[in-house]
Amino acid sequence: MDDVVKRAYASDLRTRQARQTRRAIVDAAAALFVAHGYGATTIDAIATAAGVGRKTVFTSVGGKPECLKLAIDWAIAGDDEPLSIMDRPRVRAAMQAEDARWILRDYADQYTQGASRAAALVEVLDDVAGLDDTLRALHDDLERQRTVGMTNLAAHLDLRRSLRPGLTVPDAAQLLCVYTDTVVYQRLVARHGWPPVRFVMWLADTLVAQLIRADYQPHPLPKTKRARELGVDMDALS
Say whether both 63 and 95 belong to one domain: no
Spacing of C-alpha 155 from chain mean position: 18
| pTM across the whole model | 0.82
Say whether both 22 and 70 belong to one domain: yes
Tell me which amino acid residue 163 is: L
Say whether both 171 and 197 belong to one domain: yes
Say whether both 136 and 206 belong to one domain: yes
Say whether both 110 and 171 belong to one domain: yes
Say whether both 120 and 224 belong to one domain: yes
Say whether both 49 and 104 belong to one domain: no
For 186-198, the DSSP string reads: IIIIIIT---HHH
Structural domain total, the chain: 2
Q: What is the pLDDT along the chain (238 residues), one digit of tens a residue?
A: 555 445 554 556 677 898 999 999 999 999 999 999 999 999 999 999 999 999 999 999 999 999 999 999 999 988 877 767 777 777 778 778 889 999 999 999 999 999 999 999 999 999 999 989 999 999 999 999 999 999 999 999 998 899 999 999 999 999 999 999 999 999 999 999 999 999 999 999 999 999 999 999 987 666 554 445 444 544 443 3
Q: Cβ neighbours of residue 169 under 8 Å, at least 6 residues apart?
A: 151, 154, 155, 158, 163, 230
Domain boundary among 82, 99, 125: 82
What pLDDT sits at residue 12? 65
What pLDDT sits at residue 11? 58
Say whether both 22 and 103 belong to one domain: no
What pLDDT sits at residue 94? 78
Q: Domain containing 4 — which CATH number? A: 1.10.357.10
Say whether both 34 and 114 belong to one domain: no
Say whether both 143 and 183 belong to one domain: yes
Q: Domain containing 187 — which CATH number? A: 1.10.357
212: closest CA among 177, 174, 179, 172? 172
What pLDDT sits at residue 91? 79
Query: Which domain, by its residues, includes 72?
Result: 1-82
The residues with which 163 forms a beta bridge, in sequence order, are 212
122: closest CA among 68, 174, 82? 68
What pLDDT sits at residue 3? 56
Domain boundary among 47, 82, 117: 82
64: closest CA among 131, 140, 145, 142? 131
Domain boundary among 82, 103, 137: 82
Q: Cβ neighbours of residue 202 under 8 Å, at least 6 residues apart?
A: 188, 194
What pLDDT sits at residue 90? 78
What pLDDT sits at residue 235? 47
Say whether both 173 and 58 belong to one domain: no
Rounded Cα distance, 153 and 63, in Å: 33
Contacts 24+ apart (CB under 8 A), 204-209: 204/104, 204/105, 204/108, 204/109, 206/179, 207/104, 207/107, 207/108, 207/175, 207/176, 207/179, 208/101, 208/104, 208/105
Say whether both 2 and 97 belong to one domain: no
